[in-house]
Amino acid sequence: MPLLSIALTLGLVELSLSLCITLSKARLREGLEGFQLTTKVGSVLGQRFSEVWIVGEPGEDIVEALKRIVRDSMFRGIKRLKLIFYLSNPGELNYLNLLRPVLLENVSMSIVVEERSIKNLLDDARLVKDEVDVVMGSMVPVEFMKAVELSGGKFKVVRAHGR
């Protein structure tokens, strides 16, 4: 899905960039010195994000769980979150309408939203190195539940209201 379509759907209008300017002394040739100005523009997407996985089909109960995660993350000093939706049909955009209140409540964090097929879930679970918050929707694969149990605490399951 094009980035512009996602931005318009969510009401987003800008992408954060960082700018690094370095001024260093440089030797141009024998007996002649000068200064070199180096600039580097980086996207927020190149930075490290804390991950939150939303597994299964999202519903209204997930909105409150995501709001709690965003608030708790802000209190812990986390500035960047990556919300990864594992969906049986990644092309559908219904989850974006559910996500809107979560994003509108946030005022100080960078949040990236990604969608992946539920088929990638077990492979991604094997590659996890850091702790990941997991919000479970409906239709979570049994194999993933076993992976959570065997993960050694890498997955922190966050319960939605009424679940």
What is d(CA 5, CA 3) in angstroms, rounded to the nearest whole number?
5
Please determine, for residue 20, whether its predicted confidence score (pLDDT) is greater than 90: no
Q: What pLDDT shows up at residue 156?
A: 87
Q: What pLDDT shows up at residue 52?
A: 93
Domains in the chain, number: 2
Residue 147: CATH number of its domain:
3.40.50.11100
Beta bridge partners of 135: 54, 158
Same domain, 125 and 137: yes
> Model pTM?
0.68
Give every CB contact of residue 27 below 8 A, 6+ residues apart in sequence: 33
Q: How confident is the model at residue 36 (pLDDT cuts 50, 70, 90)?
A: low
Same domain, 76 and 116: yes
Give 37-94 pLDDT, tens digit per residue: 565 554 555 567 899 998 877 778 888 889 889 999 889 888 889 999 888 877 777 7
Q: Which of 152, 84, 93, 69 is nearest to 120 (CA)?
A: 84
Same domain, 83 and 15: no
Q: Domain span at residue 110?
A: 48-158
Arithmetic mean of pLDDT over the chain:
75
